[in-house]
Amino acid sequence: MSKIAFIFPGQGAQFVGMGKDIIENNETALKIYDKANDILGYDIKNIILNGPKEQLDSTENTQPAILTMSYALLEVLRSEGITPQGVAGLSLGEYSALLSSQVMDFESALPLVRKRAKFMQSAVPVGVGGMVALVGIKKEGLTELVDSIESGYLAVANYNCPGQYVVTGEKDAIAETMEKAKEFGARRAIKLDVSGPFHSKLLTEAGENLGIELDKIQLQDPAIPIYSNVTAKTYENKLEIRELLVKQVSNSVLWQQTIENMVADGFTGFVEVGPQKTLSAMVKKISKDVWVKNIEDNESLMTFIKEFKEGVHETK
């Protein structure tokens, strides 16, 4: 019998029109998009469906937009009797995982991620720092590269999968990284289109502000295992969740380690729930011993529901 995990993408996966065909074909999903408008008090639905791209890509819109789409898909799956045995999400995606594990409700989570986005945006002035994706570099080379940077603060933001990492830090350190990356084994160094050095100690204040907001929310102990970005292990209880969500903003995302731990814990199937196929590609690079599906439009949603009910994945 397959042990299935749902995984949820984070910022960067968004695109204008995401979920359009889903809400056109599923009343349950449409209600979630409409509910998001009611909760936030502005037309996030229109921004998701029609843009413009610049408005959707603004962090304070991106984060609630992605959460809304992933949650809409979750609710359609739940209405069909399909639930996971465990969950994880990449950065922002961890909040979709929190919804799936019933730690918080949508009415609390949606305003929270918008505030999280604002805290992250305002913690460091635009232009002070940035992020670089490194492709093809080995872990040893990554460590040596980070240690070699002398022009400013640099840290690893994301351990995505073998040969794919993201570093974060101050402007001069980012420039030095771009110059030296190939020297340490990277095939490519790609400066990311982000407004700040996310998942670094420069965002500590944003985490502290987030903690104040988390104290206002009723959290529950997880109904199913949920894996933390900070530790790559399952949360023990709601107190640990609060503590680690604060740290998550300024700590490395241990995605590769998370998937490796989930595979070790017996998960045999991973379903990416949300826009794009980014996490699916990462999981395939981390483990050859699991099956991977993504659900990002109505066709992939209906296909998965049909396959699940027919038991296609039960013995994979």
Number of compact structural domains in the chain: 2
| pLDDT mean across residues, the chain | 96
Does 156 lie in the same domain as 107?
Answer: no
Alpha-carbon distance 174 to 197, whole Å? Answer: 9
Q: In what order do the strands lie in the sheet with 164-170?
A: 154-161, 164-170, 129-135, 188-191
Domain contains 218: yes
Segment 42-91, tens digit of pLDDT: 999 999 999 999 999 999 999 999 999 999 999 999 999 999 999 999 99
Does 142 lie in the same domain as 100?
Answer: no
pTM above 0.85, yes or no: yes
Q: Which of 91, 195, 200, 287 is catalytic?
A: 91
Instruction: Please state the φ and ψ torsions of residue 175, each to the nearest 5 degrees.
Output: -65, -40
CATH of the domain at 251: 3.40.366.10
Does 272 lie in the same domain as 170?
Answer: no
| CA nearest neighbour of 80 among 129, 43, 28 | 28
Domain boundary among 191, 211, 236: 191
Does 170 lie in the same domain as 21?
Answer: no
Instruction: Please state the φ and ψ torsions of residue 168, each to the nearest 5 degrees.
Output: -140, 145
Which whole number is the average pLDDT over 168-178? 98
Does 298 lie in the same domain as 179?
Answer: no
By DSSP bridging, strand 269-273 and strand 86-89 are: unpaired
Query: Is residue 313 annotated as part of the catalytic site, yes or no?
Result: no
Q: Which of 108, 195, 199, 280 is catalytic?
A: 199
Residue 316: its pLDDT value, please?
58
- Decide if 123 contacts 194 (C-beta within 8 A): no
DSSP conformation letters of 86-113: EEEESTTHHHHHHHHTTSS-HHHHHHHH
Residue 193: its pLDDT value, please?
83
Residue 160 structural domain: 129-191
Does 206 lie in the same domain as 154?
Answer: no
Dihedral over alpha carbons 12, 201, 102, 100 (to 10 degrees)? 30
